[in-house]
Amino acid sequence: MGATGDGAGDVQRAVAPASPLSVVIVDDHEVLRTGTRQILETAPDMVVVGEADDGESALPMVKELQPDIVLVDIRLPGPSGIEVARQINATNPETKVVILSAYDDPEYLRAALAAGAAGYLLKTMPRDELVNAVRAAGLGTTVLDATMSSHLARPARASVPGEVASLTARERQVVGLVADGLANKTIAARLGISARTIEGHLNHIFAKLGVTSRTELVRFALSNNLTDPVRPGAD
């Protein structure tokens, strides 16, 4: 890892690399992928070599293309952006993964950096800052959106030993499907059980994990690699 950038001012001073940076964009929203591609390709020193709409298809694409940079959304169908970063960091360490997220959340930031991400940027950042941040990441600098840097000084949520281990296989299924954005009725249909049973599972999950809302549950799932649901059939 290089020195951590403190925001837009730092990344704008990055010197352009000698050869074009190859970039893969991973986002399940086609409009956002297209917009990000158009922004990056305004820079003469960048080329978008691939796009994927989920983590599962992104991983073999990265293995084949060996891009310099992967820009990945944090919430994806299947493996989350954090899990994608973790796997790419393990199998393609020369490829830098930068999270491009809609969520200004310190737990997401810490989880992403712990997974080996080279940066955490927000989708609301100006286009010139995005280009310069990607360029800086390509040069080995860890890049953070200016609004995210202050989060690192805040204490992290205390981890309770055994929280995740206490979940049953069925509860892990439910957590993964909630993290995918599915409603209780849809989860019930997917698992072949009643919506009332799903509510019971969620009550147990909330108590075991110490969360009080679906939003907190999704945050916990992303931070603890629980976003790829166990396949139906587990009890």
Q: Which residues pair with 47 in a beta bridge?
A: 22
Contact 171, 205 (CB under 8 A): yes
Q: What is the pTM of this model?
A: 0.67
- Say whether 229 sits in a helix, a strand or coil: coil
Q: Which residue has the tokens 């916990």?
A: 220
Angle, helix 106-114 to helix 214-223, in steps of 10 degrees: 20
- 22's CB contacts (< 8 A; 6+ apart) are 47, 49, 65, 66, 67, 68, 69
Q: Which tokens go with 128?
A: 């010139």
- List, in order of start, the domains of the chain with CATH numbers: 8-153 (3.40.50.2300), 169-223 (1.10.10.10)
- Parallel, antiparallel, or unpaired for β 119-122 and 96-101? parallel
Q: Which tokens go with 190?
A: 């997917």
- pLDDT tens digits, the chain, 235 residues: what are they? 333 444 444 444 454 556 899 999 999 999 999 999 999 999 999 999 999 999 899 999 999 999 999 999 988 888 889 889 989 999 999 999 999 998 888 878 888 888 889 999 999 999 999 999 999 999 999 998 877 766 565 555 555 546 777 888 899 889 888 877 788 898 999 999 998 999 989 989 888 888 888 878 887 887 777 766 555 544 4
